[in-house]
Amino acid sequence: MSDTVLKQQLAERFREVNGDHPMTEADDAYVSAQFVCLEELCAVHSRDGDAVRRLMLGQRLPLPGYLRSDGAEMVPADLFALADVAGGVDQLEAWFTAHWADPLTGKAEWNAYLSGQYVCLHAVTPATIQRKDCLTTRIGASVNEPDAGSAQWAEQLHALIDELDALEPAFTAYDRLRFDGPTSRDTCITALRARFPRP
């Protein structure tokens, strides 16, 4: 199968997952600063780009996080890191899902990982995924706590927000289109900092 056909198939799969939304110049600039072209990453790691595309299409490695407007497949710089830690692509799924006690949750997180949509984290690992889930849940619940608004409560809230802020990138307008609404940064960081200013 030719390089062009594989790229086309990957682009089609990407749009099936994310929808068909335009990338603006600002989106392209953001993505170029945060991610790397698949071809460039493969060159650095001495990997064959077509072989990696086949792994993506075969649901063994994550899809690209973005398709830039010029068609470049943009991936995180650590795309191969988890497979290396797991002992190879063949062991990756079992290693990844084992981080969740509930097999159904582990499988759901694996599918989310394969979608390439974990662009909400600087580093995508089972630990950071779990920590983000914990933080967003705690931040969301905090506004309903009995002592909401107190100085101690505000201090604890901002500690959680700051930790989430360190885990998450800025996002771009394209993300709000494909996720059909505000991002976790919008709701759990920006909005709550505005609603409950730091004491």
pLDDT tens-digit readout, 100-152: 999 999 999 999 999 999 999 999 999 999 999 999 999 999 999 999 889 99
Q: What confidence tens digit (pLDDT) does each residue in 69-83 have?
A: 999 999 999 999 999
**Which alpha helices (DSSP H) does 19-142 contain, by range?**
25-34, 38-44, 49-57, 81-86, 89-97, 103-114, 126-142
Which band of pLDDT confidence, cut at 50, 70 and 90, is reported for residue 1?
A: low
Query: How much of the chain, in percent, has pLDDT values that exceed 70?
Result: 99
What are the backbone dihedrals phi and psi of residue 73, each rounded to the nearest 5 degrees, phi first? -85, 110
pLDDT at 130: 97
pLDDT at 2: 62
pLDDT at 48: 95
pLDDT at 165: 98
Q: What confidence tens digit (pLDDT) does each residue in 26-50 have?
A: 999 999 999 999 999 999 999 999 9
- Rounded to 10 degrees, the C-alpha dihedral 62/68/73/77 comes to -70
Residue labelled with tokens 């919008």:
186
pTM: 0.92
Residue 4 has pLDDT above 90, yes or no: no
Q: What confidence tens digit (pLDDT) does each residue in 167-191 have?
A: 999 999 999 999 999 999 999 999 9
Return the amino acid letter for 126: P
> Are the C-beta atoms of 65 and 35 separated by less than 8 Å?
yes
